[in-house]
Structure 1
């Protein structure tokens, strides 16, 4: 009986190292499976984010549109003694910026310019701001003509005599679209509109606008 008892105790003591090794292997396998599972979930999330970034949340080009241009406070007179044209004029420009993205668009301080035959004759600032997703923001700008720059142009007098003043408005808005707080895409949207000011009735016509956006 003592011999059997001793054998029994020895058997148990010999079996313990085997059980410990087996449980260690199972633990390692369990940890490995957990690691593989976590990695699989992370890979799936990354793939999902990339798919959303290039489909639903794909950066689209904000569009700046000149809705209307009107002329106010136009005063034109001739100084025959000095052979000069005296001019005082203000342009009211209504434009809108549409953000077609599913996220907000932040833009920096910008400007709108008034040009006459390639020369800048007026400027107005556009303060920085933010446009929410799928939102269109209207802007009303007032451009005061720098008359001295017009008068110094040799073609200005002939344009006044003809009753038609060719002008151009140029706006450029730069900002960025933040997709899922991970991808920041810089966007520059510009609009150039050529039009004619008819001095006889202070009206604006023959508008031709071109739009350009760079991502």
Structure 2
């Protein structure tokens, strides 16, 4: 009997050692190679697609139509895919929302950079109701801000899910005399 129980104990100890080694390997990989990294959101370009401003003297009002085209790319530096939910890109004028466009849910594979071509049409009534608009028009520059936030999950080893929120805010000054975009200043934030 002692011979059989010795073999059983050796097998049990060997299996326990293998299980501990596998668990340690998984933990080490999860904390190093598969560690969740920040997705990098970049505003690649912003350009004025359409800009028309006119004065309707019989009705005593200003007619304004502005369409802004924004190219945004999101790079997933993780070793696993990043699934993001429905998001929205916002266009603001002096803190007031004046345009938005939806970004449908999707997935960005490991190491992939996915581009989004967004076209924002300005809600002219909101823009025209701002008391600072006339002084900005007189100065020749319209200070706009684009804001894109994407939230989603990174799945590590199929069972560890990490929630990620990445946002980009860019100040985009528009030169009213020629309809071009000035120097952009962007801020990027990511929360795990």
- How would you bin the TM-score normalised by the shorter chain? over 0.9
Quote the residue 2:56 is aligned against: 79
Match of 1:208 among 180, 185, 192: 185
Q: Distance in 2 between matches of 1:168 and 1:175?
A: 23
Q: What displacement does 1:135 show?
A: 0.7
Q: Distance in 1 between matches of 2:137 and 2:58?
A: 17
Partner of residue 20, structure 1: none
2:38 counterpart (61, 65, 72): 61
CA distance in 1, matches of 2:57, 2:141: 20
How far apart, in 2, do the equivalents of 1:209 and 1:82 lie? 39
C-alpha deviation, 1:101, in angstroms: 0.6
TM-score by length of 1: 0.86
Number of aligned positions between the proteins: 192
Q: 2: distance between equivalents of 1:71 and 1:41?
A: 62
Shift of 1:82: 5.2
More helix by share: 1
Show the counterpart of 1:3.
Answer: none
Cα RMSD (Å) of the superposition?
1.1
Preserved contact between residue 84 and residue 151 of structure 1 (Cα < 8 Å): no
Gaps of 5+ in 2: none
User: Could you say which structure has the larger radius of gyration?
Assistant: 1
**TM-score, with normalisation over the residues of structure 2?**
0.96
Moved more, 97-106 or 79-88: 79-88
Contact 1:109–1:127 at 8 Å: present in 2 too? yes
